[in-house]
């Protein structure tokens, strides 16, 4: 298994290099001028020219790429033209917020979606199945921002149960930064008020973000369960007197989630993309707004770094997904 | 420049729907869910970073008015430049040597006293970095020409006379070298450190680690501020800047009391709903921020005066202002805010008149201008209102036989494209905000041909007479002497009609009703917190 | 002596989109203690439904319209699903499925699956005085390893830690036989357990089963379509056609003198006996529209007018077999 992971990790490197190269070239198609972005709105042409030389933007593109790759290899992601802070610092500050949101959303999708999918599969063509099928179509069709605003109206405005936006109340004092994950740092600092507050802030964005994935997971789990129920071994297990609950939730489920797990890997990309909208609506201080800002301001270093980061996360997640597949189904591990 | 992910109109429609759903709850809306009486939660946008010598734009003005001080400062509405850290200044008749006298007893946030050396350090740092706020100074001021005469006197010796120098003085924040120096890395003037920290003397200080670009900024009161707090017995103790990105969230946060003020760009369609609430209202203020449709005067048919006049008469100014902007703007036919000195009030602008437009069209065609050529108008896609304005223009132009395409684009691409005449779009739209209160900020930098290559001068307009007038106005010191020069230049520019000047902005800001004492100035746009007190 | 298993007049229909399908029309059979009963019929004759009906696992939409299933003196049709699970499946009726590859859950270790069954159904599972928890599990493992050794599964100690796909077809079938015996049932139902195997393996498995019946004191109901297997293994025989028992009796007697035209036709088709490979002309009548009269009449070479008049009654053939044919009425 270790060899399997190692081999997958090594295979990822060329893809990331390719991703970087393509992004590096694509970004140059856009006419925005990084030196101008660096200099700011009120800059004179002389200021801009000076910056162009300073940052090597007057060098040939291959030289620029080589320099960039060399820097990336030492984890130097350059400097944001917008914030003029090291991109690595900006990303390190923001990534935990995005990851926390993404994983919470994923957890909701999985822990709610899988059981609902199983129920739909078990009640095939009866009313719970119909209801869940309508739900899963809606879940994909409903726009995230509409759903988000409805949640805000209900839970923040009408009921006043949950905060409208942000990751922490403005009156809360931030706990010292250790992991960057607000919820974890609050616990480390022993600040339970901050912990609860941060958790409350997570609910609405995570639920919003989970919606699309939830629907997908319900659909795929349902299909998987229906397929598994057709298998001979289910009849055999029933004939052998397996307890019904254990039969469904252990023996059938594990055979049914292969496609679902694959979907989770694909969903992860969607979650990061969907996070842009959700982070914007809920003013969540993650990677999303940073990326949008970078695109709007032509901040090349940030665009490159975020592409690389998302590519890496995606690759890591998919290695994990393969591992999970292997754990779920030993036949796959042997084949690989 | 940071745009909402949702279009304004879409978000607006949603909020309108939300309002209907919310009327049921109108009586039961919970108030002040996030803020207490000593914490002000601000929705102003945040600057790209916190270093006032690196960034200079509207969000930076709002930040630095609280965290930093300057020698002179704009106050009131209309803006007046008043002594601030400096209690007075002198200038030699040739306009070359300026001396500023500091007040005594000024303290930085670390408790150390401010001296003229610190002012010298600040200006030299600004010049050495050579970034946005240095634009007005780089050509006229050498670092070694800023000197400390005595502990309370700073002398500036300019290379050439430059009248806007004084108007630009408030754009430079005085920083504390004793806090910056320990954080300097390889001669970077502490650039990367100050980007995320504070080293000022302002009425509020930046809480360490209380900043994440674009997301949040925490500040707390500086009790020892040199202006004291006698003017405001119950000031805000903590300032939590929590910018909002989406209009809908912004309005909801204002309405549930978790936001004390929005930024200044509230869409007009939100006004009625907010004013109907018990908790908040919309403040309207005239600012100096003009909206222009640029024409690339180097590209046919825009190199033809009659063609340009044709376009200038084909835009439905009042229709745009009244129907799309909800009347929250004033028609400004000049290449400058109409509430600034230097405007020739006798000059008439152009009105929406398709008949005249057709006449100019015919004249242009007669002179061989390619009026049939399809032209492009580039807009910032994220700004719904300018997109709608462009579409309005498109339909009117179609009536007189001009084929114009509306192209969505983004700010950074547009400014980059505007660096050369051949990459500059046929037409594009943008605003020009107040960087400093002087005609130089608008007409001077927009129509003097020496600025070709900057986005402000992207009409690529060239008129030697205008160049002469503007350059003379720039080196003349007294405002009463400069005014006729600008008036004359503007008359000539308007006759040439190089661009289409549309409106001067009215800004809309949502405020919680507990916010009292706010004072507005177009520079900073009401973000100066030292005046503000919170009821309850 | 009372039979271990006795099915009487069983009729099962399934609701389909095209209407009610009468899968079983009138099935009857008896399995005496310690004996092996072969249930023979072509595919589609209702063998699987018969097994499902006995085990209480009918597909959705199926109803038992008539009949009784007596097992060790109790009517299984009166049992609830929970009662069947608690008191019958595995603990008293073991099951050997048709396809050993498809019947084992591919993603669980063999041991996990077999121990899951023993955990709930082994004789000591409900014994409050016996060992519990880990100790009980250990006892189960020991019993399983013993069984696997008896079944000649190689490396019985490590077999439990392996996954189904790591065994050959014959080995898997041995695992399943061990699983069927694990909880010491009195009756084992085997559903064509050798069909998916090659001839040599098939023969070995049949020998093994024959030995096990005596060794473990079980009764075996062996469902197959293959008369050769029946001849090799079984004591008694029950031939089913189109959901009806058409002939039943001792194997020896029936093989020597098959009485029902269907039995004769089936035997004639068997590769060991057939002179030409012909099969039976025609096909089994659709369960959606059973013809009146004898269900085999349309394919029967001896059919006469009387056959179409009504369902033929059971009669006794000279061989001693019970036959559903007008010839013996």
Report the residue of chain B nearest A286, measured CA to CA. Answer: B215
pTM of the prediction?
Answer: 0.82
How close, in Å, is residue A255 to chain C by CA atoms? 7
What is residue A65's predicted lDDT score, i.e. its pLDDT?
Answer: 85
What is residue C275's predicted lDDT score, i.e. its pLDDT?
Answer: 59
Indicate the residue of A171, A277, A296 with minimum beta-carbon distance to B3: A296
pLDDT-wise least confident of A322-331, B202-211, C66-75: A322-331
Asked whether the predicted pLDDT for residue B378 surpasses 80, the reply is yes
Cβ atoms of B134 and B514 closer than 8 Å = no
pLDDT by residue (tens digit) across B161-175? Answer: 999 999 999 999 999
To the nearest whole number, what is the mean pLDDT of chain C? 89
C-alpha B447/C-alpha B450 separation (Å) is 9
My answer on whether B388 and B351 are in the same domain is yes
To the nearest whole number, what is the mean pLDDT of chain B? 90
A231/C84 CB distance under 8 A: no
Instruction: Give domain status of residue A105, yes or no.
Output: yes
CATH of the domain at A293: 1.10.3720.10
C-alpha C140/C-alpha B387 separation (Å) is 76
C117/A242 CB distance under 8 A: yes
pLDDT-wise least confident of A30-34, A216-220, A264-268, B439-443: A30-34
What is residue C278's predicted lDDT score, i.e. its pLDDT?
Answer: 62
Put simply, whether B240 touches A (Cβ < 8 Å) is yes
- Rg of chain A (C-alpha set): 24
Report the residue of chain A nearest B191, measured CA to CA. Answer: A84
Instruction: Give domain status of residue A27, yes or no.
Output: no
Indicate the residue of A41, A153, A290 with minimum beta-carbon distance to B22: A153
Highest averaged pLDDT of the listed ranges A33-37, B36-40, C121-125, C136-140: C136-140
pLDDT by residue (tens digit) across B228-284? Answer: 999 999 999 999 999 998 889 999 999 999 999 998 888 888 899 999 999 999 999
Q: How many domains does chain A have?
A: 1
pLDDT by residue (tens digit) across A232-262? Answer: 899 999 999 898 899 999 999 999 988 888 8
What is residue B27's predicted lDDT score, i.e. its pLDDT?
Answer: 36
What is residue A32's predicted lDDT score, i.e. its pLDDT?
Answer: 65
Q: How many domains does chain B have?
A: 2
Asked whether the predicted pLDDT for residue A11 surpasses 90, the reply is no
Put simply, whether C105 touches A (Cβ < 8 Å) is yes
C-alpha B390/C-alpha B378 separation (Å) is 9
pLDDT by residue (tens digit) across C260-269? Answer: 999 988 888 7
Which residue do the tokens 């036919």 mark?
B333
My answer on whether B518 and B471 are in the same domain is no
Asked whether the predicted pLDDT for residue B22 surpasses 60, the reply is no
Which residue do the tokens 């229909």 mark?
C13
Put simply, whether B419 touches A (Cβ < 8 Å) is yes
ipTM of the complex: 0.89
What is residue C309's predicted lDDT score, i.e. its pLDDT?
Answer: 84
What is residue B5's predicted lDDT score, i.e. its pLDDT?
Answer: 41
State the pairing for strand pair C36-40/C236-241.
Answer: parallel
Asked whether the predicted pLDDT for residue B12 surpasses 60, the reply is no
- Cβ neighbours, 10 Å, residue C304: 12
Residue A336 pLDDT class (50, 70, 90 cuts): low
Q: What is the mean pLDDT of residues B50-77?
A: 93
What is residue B4's predicted lDDT score, i.e. its pLDDT?
Answer: 40
Instruction: Give domain status of residue B44, yes or no.
Output: yes
Report the residue of chain C nearest A243, measured CA to CA. Answer: C85
What is residue B66's predicted lDDT score, i.e. its pLDDT?
Answer: 96
C-alpha B232/C-alpha B238 separation (Å) is 15
What is residue C217's predicted lDDT score, i.e. its pLDDT?
Answer: 92
pLDDT by residue (tens digit) across C114-164? Answer: 999 999 998 887 777 777 788 889 999 999 999 999 999 999 989 999 999
C-alpha A200/C-alpha A203 separation (Å) is 6
My answer on whether B174 and B291 are in the same domain is no
What is residue B20's predicted lDDT score, i.e. its pLDDT?
Answer: 42
B57/A85 CB distance under 8 A: no
Secondary structure (H, E, C), C145-166: HHHHHHCCCCCHHHHCCCCHHH
What is residue B19's predicted lDDT score, i.e. its pLDDT?
Answer: 46
Asked whether the predicted pLDDT for residue A20 surpasses 50, the reply is yes
Instruction: Give domain status of residue A76, yes or no.
Output: no
C-alpha C134/C-alpha C139 separation (Å) is 9
Instruction: Give domain status of residue A265, yes or no.
Output: yes
- Cβ neighbours, 10 Å, residue B96: 18
C-alpha B317/C-alpha B81 separation (Å) is 32
Cβ atoms of A66 and A224 closer than 8 Å = no
Instruction: Give domain status of residue B114, yes or no.
Output: yes
What is residue C274's predicted lDDT score, i.e. its pLDDT?
Answer: 58
Put simply, whether A36 touches B (Cβ < 8 Å) is yes
C-alpha B77/C-alpha B523 separation (Å) is 9
Residue B418 domain boundaries: 286-506
My answer on whether B16 and B60 are in the same domain is yes
- The two three-digit tokens of residue A26, written as one number: 């694509």
Instruction: Give domain status of residue A191, yes or no.
Output: yes
Residue B6 pLDDT class (50, 70, 90 cuts): very low
Asked whether the predicted pLDDT for residue B29 surpasses 50, the reply is no
My answer on whether B219 and B333 are in the same domain is no
- A-to-B residue pairs, Cβ atoms closer than 8 angstroms: 204
Q: What is the mean pLDDT of residues C188-213?
A: 88
- The two three-digit tokens of residue A188, written as one number: 């480390």
My answer on whether B501 and B518 are in the same domain is no
Question: Measured between beta carbons, which residues in chain A are less than 8 angstroms from residue C120?
Answer: 241-243
Asked whether the predicted pLDDT for residue A133 surpasses 60, the reply is yes
Asked whether the predicted pLDDT for residue B11 surpasses 60, the reply is no
Residue C77 pLDDT class (50, 70, 90 cuts): very high
Q: What is the mean pLDDT of residues B468-491?
A: 94
Chain A (223-262) residues lying within 8 Å, Cβ to Cβ, of chain B: none
CATH of the domain at B101: 3.40.190.10
Asked whether the predicted pLDDT for residue B15 surpasses 60, the reply is no
Asked whether the predicted pLDDT for residue A335 surpasses 80, the reply is no
Instruction: Give domain status of residue B5, yes or no.
Output: no
Residue A276 domain boundaries: 87-297
CATH of the domain at B436: 3.10.105.10
My answer on whether B495 and B454 are in the same domain is yes
Q: What is the mean pLDDT of residues B322-346?
A: 93
A44 φ/ψ angles, rounded to the nearest 5 degrees: -95, 160
A255/C106 CB distance under 8 A: yes
C-alpha A110/C-alpha B279 separation (Å) is 41
* Three-state secondary-structure class, residue C259: coil
B249/A281 CB distance under 8 A: yes
Establish whether the linkage from the previous residue to B78 is cis, with ω within 30° of 0. yes
What is residue B35's predicted lDDT score, i.e. its pLDDT?
Answer: 52
My answer on whether B213 and B331 are in the same domain is no
Residue A326 pLDDT class (50, 70, 90 cuts): confident
My answer on whether B249 and B150 are in the same domain is yes
pLDDT-wise least confident of A116-120, B314-318, C307-311: C307-311
A241/C84 CB distance under 8 A: yes
Stated as kind and residue range, the H or E segment containing B42 is: strand B39-42
Exposure letters B124-143 (e unless 16+ CB within 10 A, then b)? bbbbebbbbbbbbbbebbee
Q: What is the mean pLDDT of residues B314-339?
A: 94
My answer on whether B193 and B239 are in the same domain is yes
A331/C106 CB distance under 8 A: yes
Put simply, whether B278 touches A (Cβ < 8 Å) is no
Q: Which residues pair with B412 in a beta bridge?
A: none
Instruction: Give domain status of residue B280, yes or no.
Output: no
Chains meeting A at 3+ CB pairs closer than 8 A? Answer: B, C
Put simply, whether A162 touches B (Cβ < 8 Å) is no
First to last CA, chain A: 9
A47/B130 CB distance under 8 A: yes
pLDDT by residue (tens digit) across B178-209? Answer: 999 999 988 889 988 999 999 999 999 999 88
Which residue do the tokens 């790209």 mark?
B48
Cβ atoms of C170 and C205 closer than 8 Å = yes
Instruction: Give domain status of residue A165, yes or no.
Output: yes
| All residues at 6 or more sequence positions from B200 whose CB lies less than 8 Å from its CB, including other chains | B52, B64, B67, B68, B69, B108, B109, B173, B174, B175, B176
Put simply, whether A291 touches B (Cβ < 8 Å) is no
Instruction: Give domain status of residue B131, yes or no.
Output: yes
Instruction: Give domain status of residue A34, yes or no.
Output: no
Nearest one of B276, A66, A234, A145 to C106, comparing CA atoms = A234
In chain C the domains, ranked by start, together with CATH numbers, are 1-92+185-276 (3.40.50.300), 103-184 (no CATH)
pLDDT by residue (tens digit) across B457-479? Answer: 999 999 999 999 999 999 998 89
How close, in Å, is residue A325 to chain B by CA atoms? 36
A331/C163 CB distance under 8 A: yes
Q: What is the mean pLDDT of residues B39-65?
A: 91
B412/A145 CB distance under 8 A: no
- The two three-digit tokens of residue B188, written as one number: 């970077």
Q: What is the mean pLDDT of residues B391-408?
A: 94
Indicate the residue of A84, A166, A177 with minimum beta-carbon distance to B195: A84
Instruction: Give domain status of residue A192, yes or no.
Output: yes
């Amino acid at each position: 298994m270790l060899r399997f992971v190692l081999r997958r990790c090594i295979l990822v490197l060329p893809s990331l290099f390719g991703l970087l190269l393509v992004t590096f070239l694509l970004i140059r198609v856009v006419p925005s001028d990084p030196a101008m972005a660096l200099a700011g709105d009120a800059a004179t042409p002389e200021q801009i020219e000076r910056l162009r030389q300073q940052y090597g933007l007057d060098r040939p593109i291959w030289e620029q790429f080589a320099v960039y790759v060399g820097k990336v290899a030492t984890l130097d992601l350059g400097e944001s033209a917008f914030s003029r802070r090291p991109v690595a610092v900006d990303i390190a500050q923001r990534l935990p917020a995005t990851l926390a949101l993404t994983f919470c959303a994923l957890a909701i999708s999985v822990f709610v979606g899988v059981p609902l999918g199983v129920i739909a599969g078990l009640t095939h063509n009866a009313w719970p199945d119909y209801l869940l099928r309508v739900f899963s179509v809606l879940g994909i069709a409903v726009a995230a921002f509409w759903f988000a605003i409805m949640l805000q109206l209900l839970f923040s405005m009408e009921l006043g149960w949950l905060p409208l936006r942000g990751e922490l109340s403005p009156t809360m004092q931030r706990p010292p930064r250790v992991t960057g994950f607000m919820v974890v740092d609050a616990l480390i600092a022993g600040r339970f008020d901050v912990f609860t507050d941060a958790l409350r802030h997570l609910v609405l964005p995570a639920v919003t973000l989970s919606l699309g994935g939830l629907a997908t997971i319900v659909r795929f789990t349902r299909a998987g369960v229906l397929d598994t129920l057709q298998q001979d071994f289910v009849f055999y297990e029933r004939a052998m007197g397996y307890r019904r609950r254990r039969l469904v939730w252990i023996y059938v489920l594990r055979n049914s989630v292969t496609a679902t797990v694959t979907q989770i890997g694909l969903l992860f990309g969607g979650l990061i993309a969907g996070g842009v909208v959700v982070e914007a609506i809920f003013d969540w201080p993650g990677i999303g707004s940073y990326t949008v800002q970078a695109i709007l301001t032509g901040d090349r270093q940030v665009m490159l770094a975020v592409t690389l980061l998302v590519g890496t996360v995606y690759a890591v997640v998919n290695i994990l997904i393969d591992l999970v597949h292997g754990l779920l189904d030993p036949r796959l591990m042997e084949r690989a | 420049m940071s745009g909402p992910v949702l279009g304004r109109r879409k978000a607006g429609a949603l909020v309108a729907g939300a309002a209907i759903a919310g009327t049921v709850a109108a009586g039961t809306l919970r108030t002040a869910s996030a803020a207490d009486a000593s914490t002000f939660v601000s929705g102003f946008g945040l600057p790209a970073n916190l270093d006032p010598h690196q960034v200079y734009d509207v969000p930076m003005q709002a930040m630095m008015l609280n965290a930093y001080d300057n020698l002179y400062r704009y106050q009131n509405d209309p803006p007046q430049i008043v002594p601030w850290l400096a209690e007075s200044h002198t200038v030699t008749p040739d306009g070359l040597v300026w001396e500023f006298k500091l007040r005594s007893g000024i303290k930085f946030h670390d408790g150390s006293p401010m001296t003229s050396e610190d002012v010298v350090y600040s200006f030299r740092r600004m010049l050495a970095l050579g970034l946005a706020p240095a634009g007005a100074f780089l050509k006229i001021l050498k670092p070694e020409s800023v000197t400390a005469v005595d502990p309370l006197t700073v002398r500036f010796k300019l290379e050439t006379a430059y009248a806007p120098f004084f108007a630009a003085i408030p754009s430079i924040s005085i920083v504390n070298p004793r806090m910056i120096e320990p954080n300097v890395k390889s001669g970077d003037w502490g650039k990367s450190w100050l980007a995320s920290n504070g080293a000022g003397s302002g009425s509020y200080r930046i809480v360490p680690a209380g900043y994440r670009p674009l997301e949040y900024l925490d500040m707390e009161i500086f009790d020892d501020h040199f202006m004291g707090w006698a003017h405001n017995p119950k000031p805000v103790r903590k300032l939590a800047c929590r910018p909002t990105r989406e209009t809908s969230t912004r309005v909801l946060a204002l309405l549930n009391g978790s936001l004390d003020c929005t930024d200044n760009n509230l869409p007009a369609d939100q006004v009625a709903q907010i004013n109907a609430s018990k908790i908040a209202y919309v403040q309207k203020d005239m600012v100096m921020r003009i909206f222009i449709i640029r024409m690339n005067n180097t590209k046919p048919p825009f190199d033809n005066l009659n063609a340009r006049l044709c376009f200038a008469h084909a835009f439905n100014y009042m229709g745009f202002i009244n129907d799309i902007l909800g009347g929250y703007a004033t028609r400004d036919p000049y290449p400058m805010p109409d509430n600034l000195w230097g405007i020739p009030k006798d000059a008439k602008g152009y009105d929406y008149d398709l008949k005249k437009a057709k006449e100019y069209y015919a004249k242009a065609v007669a002179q061989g201008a390619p009026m049939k050529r399809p032209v492009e108008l580039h807009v910032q896609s994220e700004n719904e209102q300018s997109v709608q304005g462009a579409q309005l223009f498109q339909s009117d132009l179609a009536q007189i036989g001009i084929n114009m395409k509306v192209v969505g684009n983004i700010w950074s691409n547009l400014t980059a494209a505007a660096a050369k005449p051949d990459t500059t779009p046929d037409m594009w739209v943008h605003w020009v905000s107040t960087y400093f209160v002087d005609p130089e900020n608008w007409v001077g930098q927009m129509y003097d041909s020496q600025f070709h290559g900057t986005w402000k001068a992207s009409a690529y307009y060239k008129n030697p007479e205008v160049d002469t007038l503007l350059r003379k106005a720039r080196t003349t010191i007294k405002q009463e002497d400069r005014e006729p020069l600008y008036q004359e230049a503007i008359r000539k520019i308007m006759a040439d009609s190089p661009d289409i000047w549309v409106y001067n902005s009215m800004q809309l800001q949502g405020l919680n009703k507990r916010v009292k004492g706010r004072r507005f100035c177009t520079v900073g746009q009401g973000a100066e917190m030292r005046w503000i007190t919170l009821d309850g | 002596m009372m039979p271990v298993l006795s099915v009487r007049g069983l009729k099962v229909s399934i609701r389909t989109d095209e209407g009610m399908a009468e899968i079983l029309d009138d099935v009857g059979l008896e399995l005496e203690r310690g004996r092996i009963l072969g249930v023979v019929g072509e595919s589609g004759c209702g063998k699987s439904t018969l097994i499902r009906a006995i085990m209480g696992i009918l597909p959705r939409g199926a109803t038992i319209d008539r009949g009784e299933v007596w097992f060790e003196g109790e009517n299984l049709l009166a049992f609830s699903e929970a009662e069947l699970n608690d008191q019958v499946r595995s603990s008293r009726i073991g099951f050997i499925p048709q396809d050993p590859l498809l019947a084992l859950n591919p993603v669980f270790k063999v041991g996990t699956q077999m121990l899951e069954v023993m955990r709930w159904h082994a004789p000591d599972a409900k014994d409050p005085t016996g060992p519990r928890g880990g100790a009980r599990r250990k006892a189960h493992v020991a019993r399983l390893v013993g069984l696997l050794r008896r079944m000649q599964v190689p490396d019985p100690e490590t077999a439990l830690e392996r996954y189904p796909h790591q065994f050959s077809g014959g080995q898997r079938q041995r695992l399943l036989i061990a699983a069927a015996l694990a909880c010491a049932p009195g009756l084992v139902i085997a559903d064509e357990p050798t069909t998916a195997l090659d001839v040599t393996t098939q023969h070995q498995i049949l020998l093994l089963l024959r030995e096990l019946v005596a060794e473990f004191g079980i009764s075996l109901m062996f469902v197959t379509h293959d008369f050769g297997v029946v001849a090799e293994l079984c004591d008694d025989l029950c031939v089913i056609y189109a959901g009806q028992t058409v002939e039943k009796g001792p194997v020896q007697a029936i093989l020597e003198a098959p009485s029902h035209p269907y039995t004769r036709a089936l035997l004639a088709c068997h590769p060991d006996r057939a002179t030409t490979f012909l099969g039976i002309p025609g096909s089994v009548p659709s369960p959606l529209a059973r013809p009146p009269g004898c269900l085999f009449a349309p394919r029967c070479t001896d059919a006469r007018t009387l056959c179409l008049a009504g369902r033929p009654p059971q009669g006794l053939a000279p061989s001693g077999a019970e036959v559903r044919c007008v010839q013996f009425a």
